[in-house]
Chain A
Amino acid sequence: MLQRLASPRTGGLLALAAAITLLPLALSNKYFYDIAILVGLNAIVCVGLNLLIGYAGQISLGHAGFFGLGAYGSAILASRYGWPPLAAMFTTTLAVAALAFVVGRPILRLKGHYLAMATLGLGVIIFMVITTEDKFTGGPDGISVVPFSIGGFVLQGERSWYWVVGALLLVAVWLALNLIESPTGRALRALHSSEVGAEVVGINAADHKVMVFVISAVFASLAGSLAAHYSGFVTPGKVTFLHSIELVTMVVFGGMASTFGAVVGAAVLTTLPQLLTVFKDYEMMVFGAVMIGTMIFLPRGVVPSLARLFQPPQRNAPGKDKGAAA
């Protein structure tokens, strides 16, 4: 029993659930709730993105594009065409999954910087389509979105959204942890260290990469849909190259190949700009310096670096795998 509690899966999930439950005690006003919700939505994207970057070892500099497609898909279907929000979200997610599936195969054949370029290009193209097709998207001005509702129940107010997003984050983390512990997860880690090696032992590298790409796109798209309904407004600002970079930075900051790290990274880097507003004009400079500094001093990310500190040294060799699974 104790053993299970100490495992990253059960223990970590319980700790995360406890954190989500207790956090409202510290949230004294709507503004804090708002930030917490943004953290949760970003964390959902990062948990998915971490599967792709941290486990499968494939970089994506275009995930803000999938987030944006989710947001705009929901916004356009629900607000312009009057679809029920749930149906709009479901349809959008399916469409994004289909898109990721179609472009995933040729894109994921690429490696390293070429893959970075291709995903970056995909994100930029999505951004440009969204800003240019203003008949549907409202162009640079954005588009307003109806509140999320199921039947007669309307989801409104920061408090209700907080619990919904918190619960969804738990589900996302649980799904990711399960995937990582499954044969698929082991296959992903195998192809991370050597694609040829993985194929030699019978792992279909291409299929696995596309699958995890689709999963991460779906996470991003769902978070985008939710963000659109929550804030009631979408602008192209969340679809930019810079937002893609922010997402990747969250994953790497928290610690690659660490699902809880992705959550921590999302929490820190979503809150940071709010704190940096005290620097006013120097905000961008400080943010850039923080990005450089963490990569230099904590190249493995926060959570794995801390986990290493607390790990008893003699268990290092066999325990390394466990640590990676956290």
Chain B
Amino acid sequence: MSAQFMQYLLTGLTVGAIYALVALGFSIIFNASHVINFAQGEFVMIGGMATVSLSAAGLPYLLAIPLAVAAAALVGLALEKFAVEPARGASVVALIIITIGASIFLRGLAMVVWDKRFHALKPFTGDTPIAIAGATILPQSLWVIGVTLAIVLALSWFFGRTLLGKAMLATSHNRLAAQLCGINVRMVLFVSFGLSAALGAIAGILIAPITLTSFDVGVMLGLKGFAAAILGGLGSGVGAVVGGLALGIAETMSAGYLSSAYKDAIAFVIILAVLFFMPSGLFGTRGGERV
């Protein structure tokens, strides 16, 4: 029983770490631009698929992975430049449609560049399961959890200690005031799209050896990442990580103990239940409406 619990917990942490990375991407873009980027899941797909084709072309992971992340970041910059930037000041609904249009576009592009089949990626370091407290864990899961941890630490250093990071935080609090202080708000917007895309791509590369990847993996991962970001409270970095892990663990637990048929629905049931009682998520700020 306890070994089983441990097993579900480890699996949940692995999945949750991926959700957390995607959710962080949502939060970073939301903070900089108040846009919910529904194309976030496509960065996950681009990361995984690009690594698959680069390593199939004979490149070692040490080269293929940075290239794939860079490719996704470039797509992120292009998205900002050609889809979000020209629509400044558009309504929330219009922006949602634009980013969803972008995600459809990118999925269509992936279908043309690659194909519709599933692809496997070789694990980074072998696939002999490791035993922990009666449960087993794949080395790749350790990579997922470890890299996510490293990224979270790096991000907290970035936002807390560097000038650019602080400029991004300032912009999220008050765009106009930040601009008046001499912060290049356009640049912040640009950086946040690139950074989010890179985070998504890393998530896609980390998870590809465990779950396979294909041109449409981004849809579900994107929606769950959004759910995680909302669960934690939009725009909160801590919230995104906690939301992602909570969602991953809850999902695996309920799939294990209750019903695996509804595994994908659990995230949305939880999010509805939480929103009914906490309309701003777990760590969100409560804002009043001004007349």
Contact = CB atoms under 8 A, between A and B. Distances in A.
A296 interface: yes
A257 to B, nearest CB: 11
B275 A117 contact: yes
A287 B104 contact: yes
Nearest to A124: B268
Contacts of B262: 128, 132
B33 to A, nearest CB: 12
B83 interface: yes
Interface string B62-97: 000000000000000000000100110011111111
B107 A295 contact: no
How extensive is the interface on chain A, given as a class? 35 or more
B291 interface: yes
B289 A194 contact: yes
A32 interface: no
A120 interface: yes
B94 A284 contact: no
Contact of B111 (A242, A281, A289, A290): A281
Contacts of A197: 291
A148 to B, nearest CB: 32
A70 B17 CA distance: 38
B100 interface: yes
Interface of B: 30, 36, 83, 86-87, 90-98, 100-109, 111-112, 219, 223, 226-227, 230, 234, 261-262, 264-265, 268-269, 271-272, 275-276, 279-281, 289-291
Interface string A244-255: 010011001000
Contact of A282 (B98, B108, B265, B279): B108
A117 B274 CA distance: 12
Contacts of A129: 265
A68 B45 CA distance: 28
A11 interface: no
B291 to A, nearest CB: 5
30 contacts: A110-B279, A111-B289, A114-B280, A117-B226, A117-B230, A117-B275, A120-B268, A121-B227, A121-B269, A124-B264, A125-B269, A128-B264, A132-B261, A194-B291, A196-B291, A197-B291, A248-B93, A249-B100, A256-B93, A282-B108, A283-B108, A285-B108, A287-B101, A289-B101, A291-B97, A291-B101, A295-B87, A295-B97, A296-B98, A299-B87
B11 to A, nearest CB: 20
B83 A113 contact: no
Given A110-B275, A197-B291, A121 B97 contact: no
B273 to A, nearest CB: 10
Contact of B272 (A122, A256, A283, A295): A122
Contacts of B279: 109-111, 114
Contact of A53 (B93, B95, B272): B93
Contacts of B94: 252, 295, 299
Interface of A: 53, 59, 61, 106-107, 109-114, 116-118, 120-122, 124-125, 128-129, 132, 194-197, 200, 241-242, 245, 248-249, 252, 256, 281-292, 295-296, 299
Nearest to B90: A299
Contacts of A282: 108, 112
A297 B6 CA distance: 53
Closest 6 CB pairs of A and B: A284-B108, A291-B101, A288-B105, A288-B104, A121-B268, A285-B108
Nearest to B100: A245
Contacts of A299: 87, 90-91, 94
B93 A59 contact: yes
Contacts of B230: 113-114, 117
Residues of A contacting B: mostly: helix
Nearest to A285: B108
Given A114-B234, A121-B268, A299-B87, 5 more contacts: A114-B275, A252-B93, A288-B108, A296-B87, A299-B90
A309 to B, nearest CB: 20
B225 to A, nearest CB: 11
Contacts of A194: 289, 291
Contact of A112 (B86, B92, B272): B92
A13 to B, nearest CB: 27
Contacts of B95: 295
A248 B269 CA distance: 23
Contacts of A109: 279
Contacts of B108: 282-288
Contacts of A241: 219, 223
A59 B96 contact: yes
Between A109, A120, A295, the greatest number of chain B beta carbons within 10 A of the residue's beta carbon is seen for: A295
B104 A118 contact: no
Nearest to A283: B108
Contacts of B234: 113-114
A114 B83 CA distance: 23
B69 to A, nearest CB: 23
B145 to A, nearest CB: 26
B97 A245 contact: yes
A110 B91 CA distance: 17
A114 B30 CA distance: 13
Contact of A117 (B104, B105, B271, B276): B271
A200 to B, nearest CB: 7
Contacts of B90: 295-296, 299
A239 to B, nearest CB: 13
